[in-house]
């Protein structure tokens, strides 16, 4: 059973870090779900590990840094850094215990029943042992380097999240000599999970972890010694980047220097596969400057994230989700008509149900169209082989003015972003790194085209990154429009990002840090006044996180005034719902399904269902999004698009399959199905089925180009 986040009445706010851990437990529940295909469950198990890595590298590391600095001021939830660290460590150990049980007791037996076996060395048969021995000699042994630790060999610098094998050795024939420690770094180039005898056909697939092989044969590295202990381990380091943008003469160089330092940050977590001899463990912890409470033991794989790579290697479609083919909007299958189509009507895309190819076609067509004079785009995260990057390069080669605002401070994508930013610069693209002190997180693209009546702007605005890979996995909304008022303000936004216009005026767009936060508070206040006046009042917000204290307090006031508030918050939620006299009119749900919910939607009823305010954009309800980032939230004004977004919200609020409801104690529970005829409704599955139906319908009716 998951630990509770808070006692009723303990605080008006949930703790941010514990709320995030509760989200990761819901990810684990996906791996535990018997309704998901087996290999998909294995992927969710890997996601839990990946999420925890980032949590310890950034959030937990920040708390330990506060403790070392003597900063123990309590947050809005009443917990100081020490109290948070204690609760986090207890919560994570409970989470990891359930994580290990899921792997050992649920997934491994079910994988075995499907002919996919994960074996330890003692479980291998004679033929498999012979193959593994040969594999070790030819592929592993030559690249291993044992590192002795003694007065002549100081403790080595250990790399963040790398795999190591710790050994305690004793010289043969010397009973009185104490145990010596040695560490074997495992090169990252080696696969962590190995398929045994992969050429053998008509037999179950057998896999073994690399660490198991090294443990078995590690004695060959230490001739004349016996092994007392062999334990795979890895450490997690503080990976936040620290640099002063105001003082940095060259932002790229400063970040590159910090990336090198990231591998040497203070250790914050030790993961190890078994309990060590106390003396050896103390030596290791002393060398890492860690205490016993930073040790997280596991009896499963040392880094389950490595299971992610197996998903594509195992050719078992029957154990995966049925492939989903995104829908191309009618008429947009012909890129040469894309600008005329946008002129006729704003286009709303709901990915991954609608195809991201439509945006790729848009940017490619712009790069080739002789009437297009300029392209401006923000890029936060994208894949290295992105067709978007290739289209921007082609546009520059074709003589168009191309400006790209690159966010090189996008966490854990810094090196990748620097690499392709330099590639863009080499080809003549104007690359800008945004505004000092603010991350450029908005998702915007603008094309300027020469037409019969003069220059015309076309824009694309979205909630998700311009990344073709995540566009297949994340649920996002985006809009194509040539609306003059909106495109004019998008032009002002780009001028702000590339020039010195630091006090722009926006009327249509809600842009952080300029008018977004104040505008959201005004809309909440208006619903509050409407409720007090007896008018209909309702607020629906979908976001990844809800942390901002001012927004939460205003939502509490709205609830106390009778406003019905529905919050669809995937991850962190600091607001406590369903508290009498405080938030009894607020319901919070989290949707976790096949796709990662990533859209941000803001709905305010405005006293009538026909005159509601509806916005979509890149911003979560967090202080960093409101005040430390450039965010763009835009209105949905076309009637059909407004109806579609409202239908999407209605589907999420009806969901009783992938939804979990937040209780006042911080626990999440599945909505109950009442009545004799129990039926389950999944919003994501309904979107998939609608997409399939529309694809089929359009295929049957499509005859010629528009």
SS (H, E, C) 544-579: CCECCHHHHHHHHHHHHCCCEEEEEECCCECECCCC
Q: What is the DSSP string of 399-446?
A: T-EEEEEE-TTSTT-HHHHHHHHHHHHHTT-EEE---TT-EE--EEEE
What is the secondary structure of 385-398 as a DSSP string? T-HHHHHHHHHHHT
Query: What is the crossing angle of helices 126-135 and 210-217, to 10°?
Result: 90
Mark whether 441 is an active-site residue.
yes
Distance of alpha carbon 281 from alpha carbon 265, whole angstroms: 21
| Burial class of residue 554 (count of CB atoms within 10 Å of its CB; 0-12, 13-18, 19+) | buried
The rounded distance, in Å, linking the Cα atoms of 466 and 349 is: 13
- For residue 336, the SS3 value is helix
Neighbours of 499 (CB within 10 A): 10
Please choose, from the candidates 677, 667, 499, the residue with its C-alpha nearest in 3D space to the C-alpha of residue 590: 667
* Helix ranges, 79-180 (H): 81-101, 108-113, 126-135
Radius of gyration over alpha carbons of the chain, in Å? 28
- Bridge partner list, 459: 446, 481
**Would you tell me how many other CB atoms lie within 10 Å of the CB of residue 72?**
11
Distance (Å, whole) CA 100 – CA 124:
22
Q: What's the DSSP call for residue 546?
A: B
Tokens of 261: 């330092």
Strand residue runs (E) in 273-336: 295-297
Cα separation, 111 vs 31, in Å, equals 13
Task: Tell me the sheet residues that pair with 591.
Answer: 659
Beta carbons within 8 Å of 361's beta carbon, 6+ residues apart: 332, 335, 338
The DSSP bridge partners found for residue 179 are none
Considering the candidates 350, 441, 460, 517, report the single residue annotated as catalytic.
441
Structure tokens at 181: 């420690």
CB 177 within 8 A of CB 170: yes
CB distance 290 to 238 below 8 Å: no
By annotation, the residues acting in catalysis are 441
């Amino acid at each position: 059973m998951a630990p509770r986040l808070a006692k009723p009445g303990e605080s008006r706010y949930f703790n941010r870090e514990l709320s995030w851990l509760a989200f990761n437990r819901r990810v684990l529940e996906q791996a535990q779900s018997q309704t998901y295909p087996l290999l998909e469950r294995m992927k969710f198990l890997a996601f839990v590990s990946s999420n925890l890595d980032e949590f310890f590298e950034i959030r937990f590391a920040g708390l330990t840094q506060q403790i070392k600095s003597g900063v123990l001021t309590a947050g809005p939830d009443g917990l100081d850094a020490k109290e948070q660290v204690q609760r986090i460590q207890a919560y994570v150990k409970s989470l990891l215990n359930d994580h290990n049980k899921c792997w050992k007791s649920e997934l491994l037996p079910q994988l075995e029943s499907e002919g996919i076996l994960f074996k330890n060395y003692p479980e291998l048969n004679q033929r498999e042992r012979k193959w593994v021995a040969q594999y070790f000699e030819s592929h592993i042994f030559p690249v291993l380097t044992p590192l002795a630790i003694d007065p002549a060999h100081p403790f080595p610098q250990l790399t963040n999240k790398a795999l190591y094998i710790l050994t305690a050795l004793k010289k043969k024939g010397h009973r009185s000599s104490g145990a010596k420690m040695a560490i074997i770094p495992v090169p990252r180039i080696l696969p962590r999970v190995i398929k045994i005898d992969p050429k053998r056909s008509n037999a179950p697939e057998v896999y073994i972890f690399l660490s198991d092989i090294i443990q078995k044969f590690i004695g060959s590295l230490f001739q004349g010694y016996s092994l007392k202990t062999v334990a795979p381990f890895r450490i997690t380091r503080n990976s936040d980047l620290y640099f002063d943008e105001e003082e940095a003469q060259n932002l790229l160089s400063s970040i590159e220097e910090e990336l090198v330092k990231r591998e040497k940050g203070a250790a914050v977590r030790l993961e190890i596969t078994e309990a060590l001899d106390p003396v050896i463990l103390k030596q290791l912890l002393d060398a890492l400057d860690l205490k016993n409470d930073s040790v997280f033991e596991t009896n499963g794989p040392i880094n389950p994230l490595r299971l992610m790579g197996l998903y594509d290697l195992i050719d078992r479609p029957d154990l995966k989700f049925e492939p989903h083919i995104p829908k191309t909007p009618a008429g947009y299958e012909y890129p040469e008509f894309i600008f005329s189509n946008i002129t006729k009507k704003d286009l709303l895309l709901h990915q991954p149900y609608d195809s991201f190819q439509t945006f790729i076609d848009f940017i490619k067509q712009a790069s080739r169209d002789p009437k297009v004079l300029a392209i401006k785009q923000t890029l936060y995260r994208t894949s290295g082989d992105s067709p978007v990057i290739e289209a921007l390069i082609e546009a520059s080669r074709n003589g168009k003015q191309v400006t790209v605002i690159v966010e090189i401070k996008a966490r854990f994508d810094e090196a990748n972003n620097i690499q392709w930013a330099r590639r863009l610069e080499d080809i003549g693209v104007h690359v800008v790194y945004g505004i000092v002190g603010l991350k450029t997180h908005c998702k915007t693209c603008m094309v300027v085209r020469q037409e019969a009546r003069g220059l015309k702007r076309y824009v694309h605005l979205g909630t998700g990154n311009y990344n073709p890979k995540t566009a297949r996995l994340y649920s996002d909304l985006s809009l194509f429009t040539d609306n003059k008022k909106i495109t004019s303000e998008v032009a002002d936004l780009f001028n702000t990002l590339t020039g010195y216009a630091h006090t722009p005026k926006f009327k249509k767009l809600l842009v952080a840090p300029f008018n977004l936060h104040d505008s959201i508070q005004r809309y909440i206040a208006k619903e509050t006044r409407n409720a007090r006046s007896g008018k209909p009042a309702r607020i629906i917000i979908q976001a990844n996180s809800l942390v901002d204290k001012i927004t939460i307090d205003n939502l509490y006031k709205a609830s106390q005034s009778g406003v019905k508030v529905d919050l669809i918050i995937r991850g962190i939620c600091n607001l406590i719902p369903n508290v009498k006299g405080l938030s009894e009119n607020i319901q919070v749900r989290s949707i976790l399904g096949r796709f990662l919910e990533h859209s941000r939607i803001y709905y305010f009823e405005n006293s009538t269902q026909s005159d509601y305010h509806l916005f979509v954009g890149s911003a979560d309800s967090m202080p960093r999004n409101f005040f430390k980032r450039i965010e763009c939230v835009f209105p949905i004004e076309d009637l059909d698009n407004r109806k579609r977004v409202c239908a999407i919200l209605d589907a999420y609020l009806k969901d009783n399959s992938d939804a979990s409801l937040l209780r006042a104690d911080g626990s999440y529970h599945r909505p109950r199905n009442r009545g004799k005829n129990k039926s389950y409704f999944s919003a994501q599955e309904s979107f998939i089925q609608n997409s399939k139906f529309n694809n089929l319908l359009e295929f049957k009716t499509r005859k010629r180009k528009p």
